[in-house]
Structure 1
């Protein structure tokens, strides 16, 4: 009896070859659309990337993969028209999986013509989410590095300027003190008193500049953050004003820090005053603190280590995106003329950096601003 064998697949059949090729690809979603955008075929790559089996999508519009707002705006149809008129559509964008999660897609759409008639489209989609996120992280690291370098350059300039200005103020203050010894009353005495107060104000501004430029001598000591906040809470409430509800929630279980107590209190006061000025009609300020493992974003190749982050958050008008990169620069302010020196946040930034920490800003127009000052936990 003759032995029968199962016939092998005939790879000379081009349609069979194409089907084997498409069904063997799992890194790309390869499928065909009819001229209106209805899905005609589906391969294992489409199932792996987007989560749908063929029965779920064949016969439905490929617009289901687009973000809802893009589908409503007619983007899928525009992309098909572009492919038909220009010969190809190539782009990157966000698409949706079956479970509703987003992924970054590299998309190519080619028109299929037969005897001069458009009979459909060939569509190729590749998931490039990992590459996109890696590029975004690299760009963010580059932006953080440039910002750190800019702030360092401004700090050096500010430090030199503050020292020179301080020397001039010292001479002015000493001369006023000597004159005041000889003039005790009358109109001249009042003028001298006014000049002395102005010199004191100038000295305060100089100290803030020195803090930003890391030229202010700090006197660190063991600090219980919860105890410090309890001590200065009454002052913070008076500074915030009656129209603002201020809440302080700082756990007593946080690690002890090594900080200059006076500079810490000044930094928190500056943040509260900034929040107050952002809410002229009243609002809320929340002061909280938490321990977390993180790394300084301004330091290249920084390693994670324990920090304690103090947060001051308000529900004010927020800060425009184009200004957020400059708010810690000395003399930069978004307040009206005469309402601020532009040195409050620079003092916060300089003190935090000189203490070995870093500052974070999160703000959205109409929703408020949050500033985190993060200090390293000492290693004993």
Structure 2
């Protein structure tokens, strides 16, 4: 309280805290002396109070010096007049609270609030505060207002403020977040919004719907925050488009370079055709392979129309193919026959249309391939396959013939020794001669089919040739001169001597028939070393070359091509089987050699045979004829699925005193051996159902290890699964051959 004319100051302890360093001197001192630094601010208020008017001030700012320095303070206080006994105002009562800390805290809070509000308002991302289940706008920032077209949305529900968003799913999404309390994050969602110009515009936004809770955890609103990424996405798309265009300009420059490199260096014949506005065509480019294969230099055709360098009607023919591509717009493939020089060729061509930016076909790229070598190779393959098929067929027929001839030959051998009279003996010998000729025919069939079993050895080449001279001369007769020219050095040739003799005999007979009025047959031998590709298909190596040349009437091209085919013959019926050259060809192929034929009408024929050279010369010897008299009797197990063959073979064996037990299958033979393993020898056919002769021999060796076996077969090359130590007898065989084989086998 201030009292009296000088307003002497009286105060309590709380006011003493306000005075600071002015206490206690301020007690009783004049009010002016105590608060001189704030007198200009409070004197009007004091005057009013002393005039009888009370006043109240809240958070009045005052600069005080109560601690030795000026400081900003704030006070909430009232000045009330105090009257004496007479009712006159004698003093002033002050109820005062210092609010400096409160005001400063409020100022700091307001500054922070203002800062946050300013940050909220200026945030680059859009923000909005939605209150309540109806999502009423309580707060938005500039970015949000810009997003929604600067509309006045505060105080409105989102459905009222943004009606165009209905049906886009955002309202329903807000409802779900409010009800579940789970936030939602969206990425590049599309939204249609009304702009300031009142037009609907599609925007792309990243956003978060974050539920806001009260102190009890209840959701009271949703805070919306996000980014308008429309321009970012557009910029990214533009950048990607630029990169795509740049990349395409590069997957194009590189392609052009690669195409040019391929175009210039590939072995494929390529050409480029320009499509003219008038529907005609000019040649734009030819790659080196095309110029080489077609034989037309680029300089002769570049820029020229087809009719300027192609003859009619070929130019029209080619143009028709080009027009088809232009009309259909599709890749087109065709084949045409052309003549390059004087050589007819067949070409396979593929045309690919090339379009400009407007989709118009302005160019054709073509690829041509000469099919002539391929077609020739295919024809050769067909011939090989045909010969292989014929070989298989012929081999099968020969096998069946062997089975048919075996009982005939065997029966005739048995009957020959029991002929009752001279006439019967003559008939039997005639039949035996025919059977022997049939046997020779089968040998030729097997030779052609490459199914005969060759017993190739290293033989003296010159000795082999000389050994055939007498035989050939007797066969050819006096009108044919045989001239044999030996190689300068003695060579060893790896061949089956008997088969080579038969081959030379076949060639000589053909030559004789080609020289009905006589002539010269020249047989010459020499050495040839093959290092590269050979016309006869020989592998690299050293060969003995045998040439058989006659001076006969020769063959035309068609006959020469068919000469080695089986059963083909130019002779009248009954004079030839057509197997002679086939047999020679088969021998050469099976001996890893080759054969070729040269012939011209009126100029004779020359057949050349190549056989691999051997390492050393062995003498040509024929095995001595073993005697069949005094044969020791044997206990023989005979196995063959052909009843006639088995019966004839059994008769041959029994006729010389052998005891024969017969079995019609391998299984039956095994059962017999398991009951009695004391047989002296096993004679078995090879090709039998269920169990082959090879399998039977292996199983029999387990039951009777010391019992020898003889394999009888009409298809020798099929016995590769039989050990080499097992002797073989090829069908058809004579009784003497069979008896000698068993005699040799059991004496070893």
Q: TM-score category by the smaller chain?
A: 0.5 to 0.7
Q: Who is 1:158 aligned against?
A: 394
The structural deviation recorded for 1:223 is: 1.7
1:199-240 Cα deviation digits (max 9, x unpaired): 111111111112222222211111222221122223222323
Contact 2:462 2:491 in 1 (8 A): no
The structural deviation recorded for 1:84 is: 8.1
5+ long unaligned stretches in structure 2? 1-290, 302-306, 319-337, 346-368, 617-748
TM alignment of 1:310-325, pairs within 5 A: 310-325=546-561
Q: Who is 2:159 aligned against?
A: none
* Alpha-carbon distance in structure 1 between the residues aligned to 2:460 and 2:581: 23
Q: Identify which range, 315-324 or 197-206, moves more after superposition.
A: 315-324
Contact 1:296 1:357 in 2 (8 A): no
Select which of 396, 412, 415 maps to 1:179. 415
1:73-105 Cα deviation digits (max 9, x unpaired): xxxxxx99x95899779963438xxxxxxx999
Q: Does the alignment pair 1:195 with 2:431?
A: yes
Q: Who is 2:562 aligned against?
A: 326
Q: Does the alignment pair 1:363 with 2:599?
A: yes
The structural deviation recorded for 1:295 is: 4.8
Pick closer, same or farther for the CA change 1:240–1:180 going to 2, 3 Å. Answer: closer
Q: Who is 1:290 aligned against?
A: 526
SS at match of 1:325: helix
The structural deviation recorded for 1:29 is: 8.8
Contact 2:459 2:614 in 1 (8 A): no
Pick closer, same or farther for the CA change 1:161–1:28 going to 2, 3 Å. Answer: same
TM alignment of 1:1-380, pairs within 5 A: 28=297, 92-94=339-341, 138-253=374-489, 255-292=491-528, 293=530, 295=533, 303-378=539-614
1:322-341 Cα deviation digits (max 9, x unpaired): 23233223322111112112
Contact 2:549 2:607 in 1 (8 A): yes
Higher normalized contact order (CA 8 Å, seq sep 6+, divided by chain length):
1
Q: CA RMSD in A?
A: 3.7
Pick closer, same or farther for the CA change 1:225–1:342 going to 2, 3 Å. Answer: same
Scaled by the length of structure 1, what TM-score is found?
0.62
| Greater radius of gyration (CA) | 2
Pick closer, same or farther for the CA change 1:29–1:289 going to 2, 3 Å. Answer: farther
1:245-287 Cα deviation digits (max 9, x unpaired): 2221121426422111111111111111111111101122221
Count of paired positions? 277
* Alpha-carbon distance in structure 1 between the residues aligned to 2:428 and 2:391: 33
* Alpha-carbon distance in structure 2 between the residues aligned to 1:321 and 1:182: 54
Pick closer, same or farther for the CA change 1:143–1:252 going to 2, 3 Å. Answer: farther
* Alpha-carbon distance in structure 1 between the residues aligned to 2:564 and 2:603: 20
Q: Who is 1:126 aligned against?
A: none
5+ long unaligned stretches in structure 1? 1-24, 33-78, 96-102, 106-130
Pick closer, same or farther for the CA change 1:142–1:358 going to 2, 3 Å. Answer: farther
SS at match of 2:394: helix
* Alpha-carbon distance in structure 1 between the residues aligned to 2:404 and 2:564: 26
1:115-159 Cα deviation digits (max 9, x unpaired): xxxxxxxxxxxxxxxx98xx6655544433332222221111111
Moved over 6 A (4+): 29-32, 84-90
Scaled by the length of structure 2, what TM-score is found?
0.33
Contact 1:93 1:104 in 2 (8 A): yes
Q: Identify which range, 345-354 or 177-186, moves more after superposition.
A: 177-186
Q: Identify which range, 85-94 or 318-327, moves more after superposition.
A: 85-94
